Structure 1
Amino acid sequence: MPQPLPSKEQTLFRSLVKHYEGKQYKKGLKAAEQILRKHPNHGDTQAMKALILNSQNQGDEAFTLCKLALKNDMKSHICWHVYGLLWRSVKNYEEAIKAYKFALRIEPNSLNILRDLALLQCQIRDYEGYIESRRKMMQERPQLRQNWTALAVAYHLAGNFAEAENILKTYEETLKQTPPKTDLEHSEATLYKNTIIAESGDTERALKHLDEVVRNSLDRTAALELRAKYLLKLGRSQEAEKAYRTLLDRNSEYRAYFDELEKTLGLSRSNAADIEKLKELYESYANKNERNDAARRIPLDFLKGDAFKTAVDQYLRRKLNKGVPSTFPNIKSLYRDPEKKAVIEELVLGYASDKQTNGSAQGEVNGDTSDRFEQSVLYFLAQHYNYVRSRDLKKANEYIDRLLEKDPKSVDYNQTKARIYKHAGDVQKASETINHARELDERDRYINTKCAKYQLRNNENENALNTMSKFTRNETVGGPLGDLHDMQCMWYLIEDGEAYVRQQKWGLALKRFTAIADIFDVWHEDQFDFHSFSLRKGQIRAYIDMVRWEDHLRDHPFFTRAAVQAVKIYLKLADNPRLSNADQTDLDKLDPVERKKAEKKAKKEREKAEKAEAEKKAAAAAKATAKGDDGETKKEDTDPSGEKLLQTKEPLEAALRFLRPMLELSPLNLEAQIVGFEVHLKREKYLLALKCLQSAQEIEPENPKLHEQSVRFRQAISKLSEPLPSQVSQVIKESFTTPSTDADLEAFNNDFLEKHSQSASHLQSAYNVRYLLDNSSKSQNEEDLKKILDLSDVTIEQAEAGLALLSEWKSDEEVKDDYRAKAASRWSGATVFKK
């Protein structure tokens, strides 16, 4: 039981609680001090004071005071509740749950404690505990619909559909009168109940229930979509067809409706007999609305031969006559079919050379239309020859130059010119050209961000930040970069980090990639508020979608891209700890006399930096409450250049923060498995390394990197200083058979070399394995690596990978220069081969 207080102090305590809830922290502290002057060991007051201190960013003091409060009053549910809130604030949910459970032993019916416990249990996906907490809350306050709905959600998330439906049904039976049609919470709850029935597998009953509630549903579109889906699933094709046609009348540009309508009609795109019927179907919708695009574009996916040529001719003329800039992006997916690509190229080249009709579908000549059509055709051809499946950069340049002669101030034309330079490997000219395009329209946010991206690809980090600053709140804490962090602009942070990787500024690169991981942590934490908010607002279906999305949050491409790069940096640090000290790396290159002088100078600079750091810490308290120009509290960044991240003692352990989520949530990501193998091999966790290797082989068996890793794994387990445990050894023996235990690794590599003699990537891997098996083959490898540049289909990226291999082999600069010269003769514009 809480320690009793006299009447006056009890009133003060109640005002203390109100001040905390109203965020009037100064008044709250004043009230707490008044009580503690007379009752210095009053646990509840100490706990509330700790809560206020924690809200003022004084976490250490708050924990110390709360522990003292618990010591003074171990049987106070308030002290235990506050202790749980403090743990929750530092994201230690397990400890917070323990504290809440202690509080509930003392005060079993406290709704506040039950609510906080339930929210944490949902956050950590403890659905059994969540069900129990929600059941107690419902029993305490059965008159609130959201308590019943929350219990149904708990059962639903736990996979118990029958009980979830039963809870919702039981509450509906308690209603004395049907809620009005305008009751949003009731409308959402009925549709939510319907989705539970459908997920349980009883589609027939779900349809019957939906027909009963559809008229009262406020989300008309969702109800119609569900009904159409159920009808199709039940094989009631005629009714499903009618349902999807109703949806198409509401939105005739939504492709998914067309896809489902094809299924209801039993039409297959692979069946030649159905193609004509499909064509008639889409023509009927195209004729209904002159502006409808989907009904004209979708048939191009399945039509072939003369029918395709006629349809794509009409489609292209229609778009090009109107001067639609997105014509090429809209149809480039057709280029997967070489025949269709050839037809499109023939048609558009015909438009360019046709002087009589100027491409007019009706053969009419109009000055403005003719000029617009001509420019559209040239723009299409420039994009066509710049596209990877039909690339001819020389022709692309010719067409875009003709357009720039006509309209040198066109942002689109200049941007395409920059893109052509990028594909030619000339990132310097690409950056300059797109910056010129940006200057033509400084109010266009899209071209501004594109320009920043190109500048980062050219390693112009400062220029890119300056470009981005034109559309950021620069008065915020940290300036433009701080605002980009606050706005979670991940594409910029990733590109910025990758630019620092190319410049070998490992600390700054790690800083950016860690910022990406932090953003995903924030997204994970942000769901906490929605566990209660969504129930209050009655948005249950959206809430369920969010929870399921959060469960797969870290398989997002932005996270995996940043995580792979971060893991690679930590692998470099594990191989070469000196990378964490750039000065030491530079010293190694000096002669002994110069090195001694440099070390003495570095020592003085270190002492100076340590003194400055001490002064910085002394001023930290004042800076913690300082305000930026926009009035926000400044957050002091104690490691702006990422040096502390770089100086980790355990780089492989640090890499696990990035690696584990990838392997758990993105098991089909090849890059994740490849870097996972590297990390676990270095950690001597051989079974985990083998698991990554086998997972990667299931994804892409012929990937050249896996050949290298297989050979290295066989080497590693055959050269162990101590034998592996018998069980581990047995698993490896049974699971890892290629190359076999007694295989001649050199012969195994030669077979691989012969099998993939025309693939640049495979050849590079084979030469690297040859180098690993026998260092004396280095000169031969260097010569063979250079010959790869003669292959007809070798790409700039593969040539760049070859240059990286030479650095890995520590080849002489003369060898690298020869390689660069040969590569530059093939890709004359590529800046990566210019020293």
Structure 2
Amino acid sequence: MPQVLSAKERSLFQTVVRNYEDKQYKKGIKAADQILKKNAKHGDTLAMKALIMNSQGKTEEAFALAKVALQCDMKSHVCWHVYGLLWRAVKNFEEAIKAYKFALRLEPESAQIQRDLALLQIQMRDYQGYIVSRKSMLQSRSHIRQNWTALAVAHHLNGELAEAEGVLTTYEETLKNPPSKTDFENSEAVMYKNSLIAEQGDYQKALDHLESAGKHNLDRLAILELRATYLTKLGKKEEATKAYRALIERNSEYKKYYDGLVEGMAIDAVDHKALKAVYDEYAEKYPRNDAARRLPLDFLDGDDFRETADKYIHRMLDKGVPSTFANLKHLYSSPFKRETLPSLVQQYINSGKSEANEEPKRNGDTSKGASSAYYFLAQHYSYHLSRDLDKALEYIEKAIDLEPQSVDFHMTKARIWKHYGDSHKASEIMEQARTLDNRDRHINTKAAKYQLRNNENEAAIKTMGMFTRAETVGGPLADLHDMQCSYARQGKVGLALKRFMSIYNIFDVWQEDQFDFHSFSLRKGQIRAYVDMIRWEDKLREHPFYTRAHSQPSIFTSNCMTSP
């Protein structure tokens, strides 16, 4: 039988709870011990003391004390709740859920236990259980919008789209006064409901809802994008065309808008003349636009491609855009385009156009076009589909002669030496590139990576230390777990495995970090983003980095077992 506390001790017990909530752990332990002197078997006090001890890092002692608390009072919801919190702290969510359910049977009206249980159920993707918990929470506190939204999300994630939409509709019907037009939570709820309608495939209903309920929505861009999408789905080509033109007016560099416009205009994919006319219209309308000039290169061929590509390359090289090759290398899957592009650049150089350009150049150099053209050809001959490293080195040297302070040019030179297989030379040149701009985190990271490839571990740690937190205990290596590949090459299997496991564990951290967002997203009303996050987390381990991190430790473990 549980021990009964006097009024004074009950007051002291509340002090223990407050001390725990305020993180005044020493005071909490002291107050708990005062109660336990006279009531050594008071389960709730033992449980609270265990919870405080766990917060102090005494996990084993906390579990032992929590079990004693349960033995003293098996019918205390506080003891079972604390036991669940202890299991949650060590990431054993299955056991925590069991304990919460026991606590809830003893205290069905506890909002805190119900909330803790619901959070773990969604974390474990127990959607059926989450629906039950959210229904219970809604029944007890139906005046709170978050509870309605959470139940809708529960049905949605469980694949019950109509039920989710119905929950939101029911809540809207309970409102006596329409929400303010500036109510962000309502704005997001409207858009979330609209996404539920569209996900069911009823695009006409979604469009009608968008134009009525979403008329004054705060997310104007989403309204315009969804309207264009729905009109296209419904076959309303003329209206869809107008909608996508309005979107291009807002952002003329977004490829998706051009694709939507072309679809709305019902232009056949093989009608290259009509397609190009669409892009030419916007290229003329927006003189600084890049997308309208670059995208036609994806579908054009033959002389049309050559002419359009020539204009595009001249424009980019005249401006000295470093990303010109990066913008075009996806075209190299076509042998014709792979041969045509470098020939156009060579013609640019031979024509003297590169030297005639009068636009001001970085660092005062007037040969912008020439250096950019040499840089393009260096990247072309370094690329795996068109590799000729001798030519690549020749052209990058010419580019560096014109612009000796260019970080990009030196980085490419280092990459060429990497392709030669000379990791020492590559690391040396990448370090030269880094010294040209000590404030650039990207080049700092690249230099460290090349040092690691050359087994210069200490130098790499020092390089990375320039951008890590100085106060981190253990230095840069403790702040960045990035040494695994280098250790593997050196045959230091133990260290390599340790570093690979650090990468592997990052995915567990991402999985666990979503826990706080289950309540945060509902509180902030960010429902669409929250659902996207849940779906992203469900596919987290499909990421290529996870496969690489997962496969390497097994290889090293095998090597460890077979090594003498």
The TM-score normalised by the length of structure 1 is: 0.66
Which residue, 314, 319, 324 being the options, matches 1:322?
319
Is the CA contact (8 Å cut-off) linking 1:427 and 1:457 kept in structure 2?
yes
Which residue, 510, 523, 529 being the options, matches 1:536?
523
User: Are positions 1:555 and 2:542 aligned together?
Assistant: yes
Q: Report the equivalent of 1:598.
A: none
Q: Report the equivalent of 1:424.
A: 420
Q: Report the equivalent of 2:553.
A: 566
Shift of 1:358: 3.7
Q: Report the equivalent of 1:482.
A: 478
Q: Report the equivalent of 1:116.
A: 116
Q: Report the equivalent of 1:582.
A: none
SS in 2 for 1:459: coil
Shift of 1:2: 6.2
Q: Residues of 2 paired with 1:359 and 1:228: CA distance?
A: 46
Deviations 1:31-65 (A, max 9, x none): 21221122121111110111111111110010011
- 5 Å-filtered alignment, 1:251-290, equals 251-269=251-269, 271=270, 274-290=271-287
Is the CA contact (8 Å cut-off) linking 1:75 and 1:106 kept in structure 2?
yes
Q: Report the equivalent of 1:246.
A: 246
User: Are positions 1:345 and 2:342 aligned together?
Assistant: yes
- 5 Å-filtered alignment, 1:6-85, equals 6-85=6-85
Q: Residues of 2 paired with 1:318 and 1:134: CA distance?
A: 59
Deviations 1:427-480 (A, max 9, x none): 111011111111222222111101011111112222111110111113212211
Relative to structure 1, the CA distance from residue 4 to residue 248 in structure 2 (aligned partners, 3 Å threshold; closer, same or farther) is farther
Q: Residues of 2 paired with 1:160 and 1:229: CA distance?
A: 23
- 5 Å-filtered alignment, 1:88-127, equals 88-127=88-127
Shift of 1:517: 1.6
User: Are positions 1:413 and 2:400 aligned together?
Assistant: no
SS in 2 for 1:214: coil
Which residue, 440, 445, 451 being the options, matches 2:436?
440
Q: What percentage of residue pairs aligned between the two structures are identical?
A: 60
Shift of 1:367: 8.9
Shift of 1:306: 1.5
Q: Residues of 2 paired with 1:444 and 1:98: CA distance?
A: 51
Q: Residues of 2 paired with 1:562 and 1:268: CA distance?
A: 45
Relative to structure 1, the CA distance from residue 27 to residue 379 in structure 2 (aligned partners, 3 Å threshold; closer, same or farther) is same
Q: Residues of 1 paired with 2:153 and 2:295: CA distance?
A: 39
SS in 1 for 2:215: helix
User: Are positions 1:225 and 2:212 aligned together?
Assistant: no
Shift of 1:172: 0.6
Deviations 1:490-528 (A, max 9, x none): xxx2xx212222212111111111111211101001111
Deviations 1:512-550 (A, max 9, x none): 111112111010011111111111111111000000001
Q: Report the equivalent of 1:373.
A: 369
Is the CA contact (8 Å cut-off) linking 2:2 and 2:41 kept in structure 1?
no
SS in 1 for 2:289: coil
Q: Residues of 1 paired with 2:2 and 2:191: CA distance?
A: 46
User: Are positions 1:472 and 2:468 aligned together?
Assistant: yes
Is the CA contact (8 Å cut-off) linking 2:393 and 2:413 kept in structure 1?
yes
- 5 Å-filtered alignment, 1:792-811, equals none
The TM-score normalised by the length of structure 2 is: 0.97
User: Are positions 1:333 and 2:318 aligned together?
Assistant: no
Structure 1 unaligned runs (5+)? 486-492, 580-584, 586-835
Deviations 1:264-316 (A, max 9, x none): 122233x1xx2111111011111121111111110111111121111111111
SS in 2 for 1:74: coil
User: Are positions 1:354 and 2:351 aligned together?
Assistant: yes
Q: Residues of 1 paired with 2:559 and 2:279: CA distance?
A: 56
Deviations 1:313-354 (A, max 9, x none): 111111111111111111111111111121111111112222
Shift of 1:173: 0.3
Aligned residues: 561
Is the CA contact (8 Å cut-off) linking 1:451 and 1:467 kept in structure 2?
yes
Deviations 1:600-639 (A, max 9, x none): xxxxxxxxxxxxxxxxxxxxxxxxxxxxxxxxxxxxxxxx
Most deviating of 507-516 and 32-41: 32-41
Relative to structure 1, the CA distance from residue 143 to residue 3 in structure 2 (aligned partners, 3 Å threshold; closer, same or farther) is farther
SS in 1 for 2:308: helix
Relative to structure 1, the CA distance from residue 170 to residue 367 in structure 2 (aligned partners, 3 Å threshold; closer, same or farther) is closer
Q: Report the equivalent of 1:666.
A: none
Which residue, 375, 380, 384 being the options, matches 1:384?
380
Relative to structure 1, the CA distance from residue 265 to residue 73 in structure 2 (aligned partners, 3 Å threshold; closer, same or farther) is same
SS in 1 for 2:74: coil
- 5 Å-filtered alignment, 1:816-835, equals none
Question: Which structure has the bigger radius of gyration?
Answer: 1
User: Could you say what the CA RMSD is over the residues aligned between the two structures, in angstroms?
Assistant: 1.6
Is the CA contact (8 Å cut-off) linking 2:2 and 2:72 kept in structure 1?
no
Shift of 1:150: 0.6
Relative to structure 1, the CA distance from residue 461 to residue 366 in structure 2 (aligned partners, 3 Å threshold; closer, same or farther) is closer
Equivalent position amino acid for 2:415 in 1: R
Q: Report the equivalent of 2:298.
A: 301
Is the CA contact (8 Å cut-off) linking 1:134 and 1:147 kept in structure 2?
yes
Is the CA contact (8 Å cut-off) linking 1:93 and 1:120 kept in structure 2?
yes
SS in 2 for 1:390: coil
Deviations 1:84-136 (A, max 9, x none): 00011111111111111111111111111111111111111111111001100
Q: Residues of 1 paired with 2:251 and 2:360: CA distance?
A: 36
Q: Residues of 1 paired with 2:20 and 2:191: CA distance?
A: 39
Q: Residues of 2 paired with 1:549 and 1:367: CA distance?
A: 46
Equivalent position amino acid for 2:229 in 1: K
Q: Residues of 1 paired with 2:403 and 2:154: CA distance?
A: 62
Deviations 1:352-377 (A, max 9, x none): 2223x4476xxx76796851111111
Looking at both structures, which has the greater relative contact order when contacts are Cα pairs under 8 Å and sequence separation is at least 6? Answer: 2
Most deviating of 73-82 and 221-230: 221-230
Q: Report the equivalent of 2:495.
A: 508
Is the CA contact (8 Å cut-off) linking 2:355 and 2:367 kept in structure 1?
no
Equivalent position amino acid for 1:184 in 2: F
Q: Residues of 2 paired with 1:571 and 1:366: CA distance?
A: 60
Is the CA contact (8 Å cut-off) linking 1:358 and 1:370 kept in structure 2?
no
SS in 2 for 1:19: helix
Q: Residues of 2 paired with 1:526 and 1:572: CA distance?
A: 33
User: Are positions 1:185 and 2:181 aligned together?
Assistant: no
Relative to structure 1, the CA distance from residue 244 to residue 367 in structure 2 (aligned partners, 3 Å threshold; closer, same or farther) is closer
Q: Residues of 2 paired with 1:170 and 1:381: CA distance?
A: 64
Q: Residues of 2 paired with 1:389 and 1:328: CA distance?
A: 13
Q: Report the equivalent of 2:393.
A: 397
Q: Residues of 2 paired with 1:4 and 1:256: CA distance?
A: 69
Relative to structure 1, the CA distance from residue 95 to residue 366 in structure 2 (aligned partners, 3 Å threshold; closer, same or farther) is closer
Q: Residues of 1 paired with 2:453 and 2:72: CA distance?
A: 61
Most deviating of 475-484 and 534-543: 475-484
Q: Residues of 1 paired with 2:378 and 2:474: CA distance?
A: 41
Q: Residues of 1 paired with 2:358 and 2:435: CA distance?
A: 35
